[in-house]
Structure 1
Amino acid sequence: MPEVIFPGPEGRLEGRFTPGPRPRAPVAMILHSHPQAGGTMNNKIVQLLHKDFVRRGFATLRFNFRGVGRSQGTFDNGIGELSDAASALDWVQQIHPEAEQTWIAGVSFGAWIGMQLLMRRPEIKGFISIAPPANMYDFSFLAPCPSSGIIIQGEADEVVTPSAVQKLVDKLRTQRHITIHHDVIPGANHFFAEELPQLMKSVDDYLDMRLGQDFSGR
């Protein structure tokens, strides 16, 4: 997948982009975990999500937030990173202006950013949030959450407490017109170190259900 450099709010942003196989291909963007805890676009989970969406025929982008890798700028506690994500989505949409649908996926900190982005971008029709840090950041902005999606949590997550994520899920499930799926991966820690196959099966089962065979790539 080709390396790309595109403009962000604080200078250039570095990414990896796989174009869609057809003009109206759906779009997916994947957001990495906390920059100050070693999160980059080359995180294993981010790479697996990228490959999964590509296999399903999506135009797929993952990128480094400001101050990570070759992306310019400095960490901005989520405010600037949300602007980075908006700029990245703008860039993809310039390439695929007729995308039939848009998805956002995020890991930990990236899940928090992604869920803020979907509040601002009505074209986002689905989300995948992996270990959203509900015990560290305020998710009350999801009122109401505009899109259906899945939240996946590790049963033995030592960073994000499963109870905080369950509380978030319960709150979102009270909202009408959306459906929130919630999978807990037995024995998995925050990084799903030994449970990546189970994590990706959860993602695949959900995408199979949401997208059907039209986008399955099978």
Structure 2
Amino acid sequence: MVLKGQFLERSTLIPVGSEVMEGVAHRGDERPPLLVLPPRPEDGGGMDHVIGAELAFAAASAGHPTLRFNYRGVGGSQGERGSGEALLQDAGAALGVVLENAHSPAAAVAALHGSARVALELRAHHPEVAGLCLVSPRAVTARELAGLGRGLLVVVGELDTTLSRAELAEAVEAAGGELVVVEGAGAHFHHALPLVGKAVRTWLKMLSGK
């Protein structure tokens, strides 16, 4: 039994080709649902990454369905670790599951670190992506963000200098999105992690039109 106020994700299987990825999902009545892309396998990340867990908790506590998962070859997911097109296929399969589970025509996607590249490709191939949140983005240039629209949220730590802050701010402003800089935090948000969750809740509320 799940008591009021409890956060309980349920194990979920995500078919991709002849293989199956593992994930955890949380139900909710608000829309859009949130799909969390973990760091790429080459970055050493998985669905249990602390930032991904925080985003799922923040979204679920605001009533949004969530899904986070392991790419193939990571954790209990079948297959071999891939990159590029393989990660896009994995993300597309997970997107299909979160849409089906939530009975929703669109979903929000949050990507951690190097999965920013996967998220951009996912949006280019799937019009069901209603908005993108990029947390400490890697493997992309600020210029690539300029055309993403007002559904874009970028969250970076004040101490993270991977992307030029000036170029990043200019690109996000050009898109009509929002840039959140968390004071005193680095790329992994060991400091002030709840502020990342707060930014995502506000972003989801904006996407919902409420």
Q: Does TM, scored on the shorter chain, surpass 0.5?
A: yes
Higher mean Cα deviation, 106-115 or 78-87?
A: 106-115
Query: Cα deviations across residues 10-42 of structure 1 (Å, max 9, x unaligned)?
Result: 6111000113348xx532100111323321101
Higher mean Cα deviation, 143-152 or 45-54?
A: 143-152
> Aligned residue for 1:167?
167
Q: 179, 183, 187: which is aligned to 1:182? A: 179
Q: CA deviation at 1:52?
A: 1.6
> Aligned residue for 1:61?
67
- Percent identity, aligned pairs only? 29
Q: 197, 204, 214: which is aligned to 2:201? A: 204
Q: CA deviation at 1:130?
A: 0.4
Q: CA deviation at 1:57?
A: 2.2
Query: Cα deviations across residues 85-128 of structure 1 (Å, max 9, x unaligned)?
Result: 0011112223333x164211111122321222112222222221
| TM-score (normalizing by structure 2) | 0.82
Query: CA separation of 1:129/1:89 partners in 2, compared to 1, >3 Å: closer, same or farther?
Result: same
Query: Is contact 1:154-1:162 (8 Å) kept?
Result: no
Q: 35, 42, 45: which is aligned to 1:39? A: 45
> Aligned residue for 1:106?
111
**2:152 is aligned with what amino acid?**
G
Query: Is contact 2:149-2:177 (8 Å) kept?
Result: no
The runs of 5 or more residues in structure 2 that have no matched partner are 1-8
Q: Residues of 2 paired with 1:184 and 1:142: CA distance?
A: 16
Q: State the superposition RMSD in angstroms.
A: 2.6
The runs of 5 or more residues in structure 1 that have no matched partner are none
| TM-score (normalizing by structure 1) | 0.80
2:92 corresponds to 1:95: no
